[in-house]
Structure 1
Amino acid sequence: MSNFLSYEQDGHVVTLTMSEPERRNPLTGNTAVPEFLAAIERIESDTSVRAVIITGSGTAFSSGGNIHEMKRQASGTASAMDVRRDYRHGIQRLPLALFNLEVPVIAAVNGPALGAGLDLTCMCDIRIASRAAQFAESFVKLGIIPGDGGAWLLPRIIGMSRAAELTFTGKAIDAQTALEWNLVSQVVEPEALLPTAREIAAAIAANPPHAVRLAKRLLREGMHTSLGTLLELSAVYQAVSHQAADHKEAVEAFLDKRKPVFKG
C-alpha cells in the first residue's frame, strides 16, 4: 500500500504496522499521516472490517515527531502561520480521523511510544503493552506542546493530575506504571503482544458489527456530552439495533441454545 504503513487483513481484522524501524516510526517528516488517513478511509468503506490493530515494527512503537522536521520549523524559514497550517492540514487530521472511525482500534504497543507516539495510542480505543513499552508525553523536553490532541485525550484516560505530571515533566513511565495508571489495560511479554491483540480483535469481531460500531460511537460521544443527550442518542441507536437482523439472530440463537451467526 505504501512506504510507511503496512495494511494487512485477516478475516474481519486489519493490522496496520508502522514500518520505518530505522527511524523508530516517526509520525512527521514523512508520509505517515496521509497513509494513516488513506488506511482509515479504506477501513471505513469496507464493511467486512470489524476491528483494527495498530503496532510498530522494530524496537519502537513510535518516536513521535521527526527531529529534523522540528529543526526546519525552528530555523525561521517557515512563518508561524505556515507551521500552524502544517499542523492543521497534517498531524491534526489524524486524531479526528481515528476518533471518528467507528471500527474499534487496538494499540499494540511494542516499544517506546513518545510524544505524538503516546498520543497515537490515546487515539485508539484499547491499549495493550509489551513489557518493553515506555510512554512519555515528551514535548516539553523539546520546548513545544502537545500539538496533536494529547492535551484533550490524555487527561480523559489517566486523569488530569497524572496527565499534568507527564506533560509538565516529560518523563517516561514503564509498562507496569502505565497499567497502574489505566493508560493500558494489559501488559504482556513481547512475544505475546500481537497474539493477545489478535485475540481481543477476534472477540470484538465475533459480535454483531452494527452493535459494536454504535457502542463505540456512544463511548466517544460520552467523552464530551451530557447524560441527557447521551441517553437520547442511546434510545435512537437502540431502536436501530432492535431492527437489525443480527439482533434477531442473537435472540433466536440464545433461545435455541446454539452459536449465533452474525452477517453484519
Structure 2
Amino acid sequence: MSNFLDYAQDGHIVTLTMNDPERRNPLTGNTAVPEFLAAIDRIHADHTVRAVILTGAGPGFSSGGNVRDMGRYAEMPPMDLRREYRLGIQKLPQALFNLEVPVIAAVNGHAIGAGLDLACMCDIRVAAEEARFAESFVKLGIIPGDGGAWLLPRIIGLSRATELTLTGATIDARQAAEWNLVSRVVPRDELMPTARALADQIAANPPHAVRLAKRLLREALHSRLDTLLEMSAAFQVMAHQTADHREAVAAFIDKRAPVFQG
C-alpha cells in the first residue's frame, strides 16, 4: 500500500497529511480510503489522542475524485459500481462521523468535489487565504456520491448548499467564512499554527468530556430533542463519575490549574 496519508503524532495531537501533491491529493483511484480507515482505527485504539488535524501537502487540500480514473465507471456493471461506492468512498464519512475525537480540517488550498465533502466530514474547518471550495460534481454530470448532500446543508444551510451543488461554482475562503463553511481564514503560513493552537485548546480539556460532547453534537444532527436529552442524561451520568470531573471541581475550589489524565 502506497503512502498517501502521513500519520504524525506530537503529544495528544495527530496530524494526518494527504501526500499526493502533484495530483492535488485525490481521494479515488488510489489507496486514500483504506489508508484513512486504517488511520481512524489507529486513533480509536490510542486513547492518548485528543484531537486530529487533517491537511494536504502541496498547493491543494484535495481535488476530490480522480477524474482520469472515472472513465472506467461508465463501463462497469451497475451493481459492481454501486458496491465500489459503498465499500470505498462512502466508508469515509461514516468513519469520520463516528471518530470520537474532534477533527480539524486545515484547508491549505483547493477543496473540490469530494475534497470539499471531506472537509465537511471534519468537526471544524480553518482555511488559508488561498483556499477555494467547490461542490463541483454537477460539472462532470454526476452527483455528490459521498454524503455531501447530507453534510453541506447542515453546515451552510439548504439554500446556499443548493446553490453550490447545482451551479458547481467555486467560492473563495472569505466567502466560505461568511457562509460559515469555515471558522477562520488566516495567511497560509499561519494555517498549521492556528490549527495546532485550536487542537491544543481542545486537548487541554478533559478528554472524556470532549469525546462525549462531540458525540452529542453529531447525534443532534438527526435526533429529536427528547431523544437527545435522554442521551445527554446518560452521558452526563458517565461524565460526573470520571476522575477528571472530580479534578476539575477540586481545582476550581482550590483556585489552581487542573491536571486531566483522561
Please confirm whether the aligned pair reaches a TM-score higher than 0.5, indicating the same fold: yes
Any residues of structure 2 matched to 1:70-219 within 5 Å, and which? 70-74=70-74, 76=75, 78-219=76-217
Any residues of structure 2 matched to 1:58-73 within 5 Å, and which? 58-73=58-73
SS of corresponding position for 2:185: strand
| TM-score (ref. length: structure 2) | 0.99
2:97 partner letter? F
Q: Distance in 2 between matches of 1:223 and 1:12?
A: 27
RMSD of aligned alpha carbons = 0.8
Q: Distance in 1 between matches of 2:72 and 2:21?
A: 22
| Shift in Å, 1:2 | 5.0
SS of corresponding position for 2:17: strand
SS of corresponding position for 1:194: helix
1:54 alignment counterpart:
54
Q: Distance in 2 between matches of 1:81 and 1:232?
A: 40
Q: Deviations over 1:161-217 (max 9, x none)?
A: 000000000000000000000000000000000000000000000000000000000
Q: Any unmatched runs of 5+ in structure 2? A: none
Q: Distance in 2 between matches of 1:186 and 1:119?
A: 18
| Shift in Å, 1:68 | 1.7
Q: Distance in 1 between matches of 2:164 and 2:49?
A: 35
| Shift in Å, 1:3 | 1.1
Q: Distance in 2 between matches of 1:239 and 1:85?
A: 41
Report percent identity of matched pairs: 73
Q: Distance in 2 between matches of 1:142 and 1:258?
A: 58
| TM-score (ref. length: structure 1) | 0.98
Q: Which runs of 4+ in 1 moved over 2 A?
A: none
1:25 partner letter? N
2:31 alignment counterpart:
31
2:66 partner letter? N
Q: Distance in 2 between matches of 1:136 and 1:52?
A: 24
Q: Deviations over 1:13-51 (max 9, x none)?
A: 000000000100000000000000000000000000000
SS of corresponding position for 1:53: strand
SS of corresponding position for 2:62: coil
SS of corresponding position for 2:60: coil
1:134 partner letter? R
SS of corresponding position for 1:7: strand
SS of corresponding position for 1:55: strand
Q: Any unmatched runs of 5+ in structure 1? A: none
Q: Distance in 2 between matches of 1:2 and 1:257?
A: 51
Q: Distance in 1 between matches of 2:81 and 2:171?
A: 30
1:42 alignment counterpart:
42
1:241 alignment counterpart:
239
Q: Distance in 2 between matches of 1:259 and 1:69?
A: 54
**Residue correspondences, number:** 262
1:23 partner letter? R
